[in-house]
Amino acid sequence: MLASLTSGNHAAVLDRAGFAAAHDATPLPQIASHVLRVARDTELYAEGSPSHHVYQVLAGAVRTCKLLGDGRRQIGFFALPGDWIGLDAATRHLYAAEAVKTTVLLCFSRRELDALARAEPTAAQLVQSVLRQGLAAAERRILMFGRKTAMERMASFLADMDARLADGRGCFTLPMARGDIADYLGLTAETVSRMLSELRRRRAIALEGTQSIRILDRAWLEGLSGEATPRYSA
């Protein structure tokens, strides 16, 4: 279910998310059309649909995904608070987008954002930065699927989540289920569970419940991810 928030709630959500502070150097707040609250597993836009809107995640998480011909699902990206989705170079979305959990997003008109980027250097810089980040993420995924073992993929994923979600003490709660992680890494849910158990056995991580993870040996995990010399082969 998609729900637009009232103007009063709109302002409160933006304030809590720090949006005004984050974008006080740009006119972006002037063109933000509305705030959406999206229920878990609700589709935000479909694969192949026109790219009319751009979204910034304020709270929650969104997965972009594509269904393959045989029915398998490939998740392309997990958008977390602060991330943008829908800012594709194409006029149609290459992936569908779905809420991983109850999610709050700021919605922009693609046409108005493009016009603003042409007129305002600060807005253009923001758009270019988002596109560069997307390109870098795509390059990392090419490396992940081209050369990395299952364990190295898992280590890369955890290192990425640690950088994006950690509370400063090496602790974070994954918003997505293990089936989502499996479809993101190109593994099975059983392999994901096995890799997590192996990392716990090696004392690289601690599992606190089903979704919370604490990084115990960040240097070892980063080495395992393949960003440095790998120390483990699956």
* pTM for the model: 0.80
CA-based diameter of the chain, in Å?
55
Convert the pLDDT of each residue in 95-114 to its tens digit: 999 999 999 999 888 888 77
Torsion angle of C-alpha atoms 131, 29, 44, 156, degrees rounded to 10: 40
All CATH 2.60.120.10 domain ranges of the chain, comma separated, are 2-145
Residues whose CB falls within 8 Å of the CB of residue 26, separated by 6 or more in sequence, listed in order: 120, 122, 123, 126
The correct answer on CATH 1.10.150.130 for the domain covering 149-224 is no
pLDDT confidence tier of residue 189, bands split at 50, 70 and 90: very high
Is 68:148 a contact under the CB 8 Å cutoff? Answer: no
Specify the pLDDT at position 133: 78
Q: Of 26-30, 60-64, 66-70, where does mean pLDDT reach its minimum?
A: 26-30
192-195-196 Cα angle (round to 5): 85
Convert the pLDDT of each residue in 120-167 to its tens digit: 777 777 777 777 777 777 777 777 777 788 999 999 999 999 989 977
Mean pLDDT of 43-72: 92
Multiple choice CATH, 2-145, 2.60.40.10, 1.10.287.3510, 2.60.120.10, 3.40.50.2000: 2.60.120.10
Is 96:29 a contact under the CB 8 Å cutoff? Answer: no
Q: Which one has a higher pLDDT value, 228 or 41?
A: 41
